[in-house]
Amino acid sequence: LTDYLQWARTAGIDRTVVFSVLTSDSARANGQVAKEIARHRRRLLGFAYVHTRRDAGEVGDLVEDAVARYGFRGIKVHRHDAPITREVCDAAKTLGVPVLYDVADQPSQIQLLADQYPDVPFIIPHLGSFVDRWDTQLAMIDHVERHDNVFADTSGVRNFDLLAKTVRRAGPHKVLFGSDGPWLHPGVELAKIHALELSARDTELI
């Protein structure tokens, strides 16, 4: 995180949500993330990582432990591991935390999740596609616009017209700035938000 934290500081980013990804041991990985947060307490916030298939039957306990012991603020799930499950959604509902779910170009579950768990905020990074699948991102705009509990993350969205369309149709309160650091430069990702040329209030909402 050394380079990332310097880039973020230069860009004027005060705090960043961090989590592990694609790991073989969720509990251990969450503990390692907690150690990084302890080193940079004023800069970092944590989300609990879970692998829905490998951690099946233990998701609730893993997330509850991460929230209670480490003060983590949400749950991270990646479809490249395994699709999201009711177990994750139930844990999020019980603990009152959001779910950051990378749908990896398959947004079809969002309709079902949003309807069945209206009290759970679902954040979809990359507007649903890190590889610029135009059809996926267009479908995600519809979900973000229609469902009060579905939000889009701006990280890695290179189709700028679709990013602008999301803000226009769903509103700036439904769009969250994301950096996808340390792979992407947070200053570059933040520049896209400023390029939208929104009012100061709408920019602050994002």
Rounded Cα gap, residues 94 and 64, in angstroms: 9
Instruction: Say if residue 201 is exposed, middle or buried (CB neighbours under 10 Å; 0-12, 13-18, 19+).
Output: exposed
Taking only the tens place, the pLDDT of each residue in 149-190 is: 999 999 999 999 999 999 999 999 999 999 999 999 999 999
Segment 59-107, tens digit of pLDDT? 999 999 999 999 999 999 999 999 999 999 999 999 999 999 999 999 9
* pLDDT interval class at 137 (50, 70, 90): very high
Closest CA to 125 of 87, 79, 90, 85: 79
> Bridge-partner residues for 152, per DSSP?
124, 175
Look up the pTM and report it: 0.96
* Separation between Cα atoms, residue 131 and residue 116, nearest integer Å: 28
Rounded Cα–Cα distance for residues 147 and 155 (Å):
20
Contact 48, 68 (CB under 8 A): no
Residue 55 Cα to chain centre, angstroms: 20
Identify the three-state secondary structure at position 177.
coil
